[in-house]
Chain A
Amino acid sequence: MTEAATVDARPVRRAARITPVSIFLWALRIAALAIILYGSYLSISSGRLSAAQWRDLFVFGISTGSVYALIALGYTMVYGVLRFINFAHGEVFMVGAMMAFYVANALATTTLWTSSPVVSLLIVLVAAMATSTSVAVIVERIAYRPLRGAPRLIPLITSIGASFTIQYLVRGLVGPSTKAFPRMEQLRGTTEILGVVILKSQVVVIVAALVMMAGLYLFVERTRTGKSMRAVSEDPETAALMGIDVDRTIVKVFAIGGAMAGVAGALWGLVFPSLNFFSGFLPGIKAFTSAVLGGIGNIVGAMLGGVSLGIFESVGPSLVLAGYEIPAFSQLKDVVAYAALVLVLIFRPTGILGERLAQERT
């Protein structure tokens, strides 16, 4: 036999890791950096915005970002235990926001709304949480539980189906019109914290989000349930062997993720008072981006990622795009978010705090 002779011993240099692909990716990285830096330089040196305006953009970014962070927790926790992107999570958020809208609307006609805003807001929050939690759990029961152990793309596709189903069920139930969240007198105007002037509604959003996240963090770190969640996310089989009821733990993960999304839904109404059945899609994608940005599977990472994305998105267009004098640059706000996603995955696929990999190999 002459196989050995037919071997095509094409010489390959030692440094063969420099492939066209890696050159392309490096070019992309450098170009992105250059565009961002030069744009920022241009717009800062033009002095178009005052320091106060920049700060407002920043604070606005933090408040939207904390909503993203709350939603991102659901993505990251589900990814942690089941390793798939739960596309329907954006809809879980939207359902919570819808419920918040209707409850707030009903309350707004009563005296409670003006006399005790805190109680009203709490009622709204609880209603939204309860709704989102139930939807998340129902979706898990119907659409994901029967698929344990199936190839990974299958639950992903199912979740796309669940996402459509929820959207259009909501559309059928409450109609396609856009709803306007009722205003609360006490939340109008601004307040001053540490010498910084902030919209009151943003203060509420940021504080509520912080409280929820701190609570969740303690819950996951300290309680038995939290520990079993971490165990399942580490290694479901071993966790099962150690006597943890994996299915129940997964339901709890969905419930908690849903609750956080519900809170996010209610808070969303305070920042962006308009809402329809499709309103879950974009925040959902952005929250997922936040989760990736922070390092998927990592709870603190999701919080950091959310806030960072919120800031990128609110500051980025004015900082980078305005520098190039792009007309109507605010139209491109979502492009900033998507570009952030792509760039994060190219620059640092593990995210800010992630140990887990977005790549097959490094």
Chain B
Amino acid sequence: MALLEIQGLSKAFGGLRAINGLDITVDEGEVVSVIGPNGAGKTTFFNLVTGMESPDEGSIVFGGQELVGLRPNQILQLGMARTFQNVRLFPAMTVMENVMVGQHSRTKAGLLGAILKTPSQRREEREIEERSKEVLSFFGTRLAGYRHDELSMTLSYANRRRLEIARAMATNPRLLLLDEPTAGMNPRETIELTELIGQLRSERAYTIVLIEHDMQVVRNVSDRVVVLDHGVKLTEGSYDEVSTNEKVIEAYLGRPAELGA
């Protein structure tokens, strides 16, 4: 069954059609890569799906539920979490707190409970902590132990990216949207992250959509590849099909006629 079903999605910024009549389907358990040149509308696609921007047209159905019109927190509640291309952590909060925020929508202690420290609030707080540690431990020694009470802004770039993934994982998503997770990472870190994405699927049973420029990563992790250009889906298919598609090569290398523009 399709977990995410998008039809006729469009979004324009002024005169610029960032997304134009897009249809995409993602099945439960799949890893789908979205590729395309810069400015193709990939990030906008994520913004629309997660409710951070509202589409002009189209429908987005997730787990049988229409998302258009919902606020981002409601969409997250339904089981979809994302990371950002230009890492957007909560810089003045600790590593641990960043992850703990991820569980906000999965917990329910009220203000009074928090003030009175009722037993159920304490229990919940302990669970949040355990769960956060567990999520952080997924990244092995990279994010382990002594760094949990440091401010997230003190982390290295690669670790910020990892932390962002951890924060998304803490929300218990069914679908994880990763926006260029390896951007700015060195080759070793990239390989590590590629393995991690594999584990996310095999161990955690997440469905994953990722935007990625590194073709090695795309080849290694994706079941299916969707190519976007100028807000339109050029083609989709397996990595091998897509990588040999002429339109795709053209989109990446540029059309001679448009070079002057």
- Whether A and B touch directly in their complex, counting CB atoms under 8 A apart, is answered as yes
Q: Contact string, B59-79, partner A, CB cutoff 8 A, digits 1/0?
A: 000010110111100100111
Tell me whether B79 and A9 are in contact (CB under 8 A).
yes
Q: Say how far B230's CB is from chain A's closest CB, in angstroms.
A: 24
Task: Give the residue of B74, B172, B204 whose beta carbon is less than 8 angstroms from that of A7.
Answer: B172
- Quick check: is A193 within 8 A (CB to CB) of the other chain? no
Tell me whether A14 and B66 are in contact (CB under 8 A).
yes
- Quick check: is B82 within 8 A (CB to CB) of the other chain? no
- Please report the C-alpha to C-alpha distance between residue A337 and residue B29 in the assembled complex, in whole angstroms: 58
Q: Contact string, A14-38, partner B, CB cutoff 8 A, digits 1/0?
A: 1111000000000000000000000
Q: How many residues of B contact A (CB 8 A)?
A: 18
Task: Give the residue of B70, B106, B205 whose beta carbon is less than 8 angstroms from that of A16.
Answer: B70
Chain B residues, CB < 8 A from A10:
77-78
Chain B residues, CB < 8 A from A7:
78-79, 172-174
Q: Say how far B220's CB is from chain A's closest CB, in angstroms.
A: 22
Tell me whether B78 and A3 are in contact (CB under 8 A).
no
Chain A residues, CB < 8 A from B204:
1, 3
- Quick check: is A12 within 8 A (CB to CB) of the other chain? yes
- Quick check: is B250 within 8 A (CB to CB) of the other chain? no
Tell me whether A4 and B71 are in contact (CB under 8 A).
no
Q: Say how far A4's CB is from chain B's closest CB, in angstroms.
A: 5
Tell me whether A16 and B172 are in contact (CB under 8 A).
no
Chain B residues, CB < 8 A from A3:
172-174, 204-205
- Quick check: is A6 within 8 A (CB to CB) of the other chain? yes
- Quick check: is B203 within 8 A (CB to CB) of the other chain? yes
Using known A-B contacts A1-B204, A3-B204, A9-B78, determine if residue A14 contacts B68 with beta carbons closer than 8 Å.
yes
Q: Say how far A11's CB is from chain B's closest CB, in angstroms.
A: 7
Nearest chain B residue, comparing its CB with the CB of A11: B65
Using known A-B contacts A4-B79, A7-B78, determine if residue A12 contacts B172 with beta carbons closer than 8 Å.
no
Nearest chain B residue, comparing its CB with the CB of A2: B205
Tell me whether A1 and B69 are in contact (CB under 8 A).
no
User: In which size bucket is the chain A interface?
Assistant: 10 to 19
Chain B residues, CB < 8 A from A4:
79, 172, 174, 205
Tell me whether A12 and B65 are in contact (CB under 8 A).
yes
Q: Contact string, A160-197, partner B, CB cutoff 8 A, digits 1/0?
A: 00000000000000000000000000000000000000
Q: Say how far B57's CB is from chain A's closest CB, in angstroms.
A: 15
Chain B residues, CB < 8 A from A12:
65, 70, 74, 78
Q: In the complex, which residues 147-200 of chain B have their Cβ closer than 8 Å to any Cβ of chain A?
A: 172-174
Tell me whether A17 and B79 are in contact (CB under 8 A).
no
Task: Give the residue of A1, A8, A14, A17 whose beta carbon is less than 8 angstroms from that of B77.
Answer: A8
| Majority DSSP secondary structure for residues of A touching B | loop
Tell me whether A14 and B69 are in contact (CB under 8 A).
yes
Task: Give the residue of A1, A11, A16 whose beta carbon is less than 8 angstroms from that of B71.
Answer: A16
Tell me whether B174 and A1 are in contact (CB under 8 A).
no
- Please report the C-alpha to C-alpha distance between residue A15 and residue B70 in the assembled complex, in whole angstroms: 8
Max chain A C-beta neighbours (<10 A), residue from B106, B172, B173, B203: B172
Q: Say how far B197's CB is from chain A's closest CB, in angstroms.
A: 16
Q: Say how far A47's CB is from chain B's closest CB, in angstroms.
A: 49
Using known A-B contacts A3-B172, A14-B66, A15-B69, determine if residue A8 contacts B74 with beta carbons closer than 8 Å.
no
Chain A residues, CB < 8 A from B106:
6, 8
Nearest chain B residue, comparing its CB with the CB of A18: B69
Nearest chain A residue, comparing its CB with the CB of B80: A7
Tell me whether B174 and A16 are in contact (CB under 8 A).
no
Q: Contact string, B74-115, partner A, CB cutoff 8 A, digits 1/0?
A: 100111000000000000000000000000001000000000
Chain B residues, CB < 8 A from A6:
106, 172
- Please report the C-alpha to C-alpha distance between residue A17 and residue B106 in the assembled complex, in whole angstroms: 22
Chain B residues, CB < 8 A from A9:
63, 65, 78-79
- Please report the C-alpha to C-alpha distance between residue A14 and residue B70 in the assembled complex, in whole angstroms: 7
Q: Say how far B41's CB is from chain A's closest CB, in angstroms.
A: 19
Task: Give the residue of B63, B65, B70, B203 whose beta carbon is less than 8 angstroms from that of A1.
Answer: B203
Instruction: Report B's interface with A, CB cutoff 8 A.
Output: 63, 65-66, 68-71, 74, 77-79, 106, 172-174, 203-205
Q: What 4 A-B pairs have minimum CB-CB distances, sorted nearest first?
A: A7-B79, A3-B172, A14-B66, A4-B174
Beyond A1-B203, A16-B71, 9 additional contacts (C-beta under 8 Å) are A3-B204, A3-B205, A8-B77, A8-B106, A9-B79, A12-B74, A12-B78, A14-B66, A16-B69
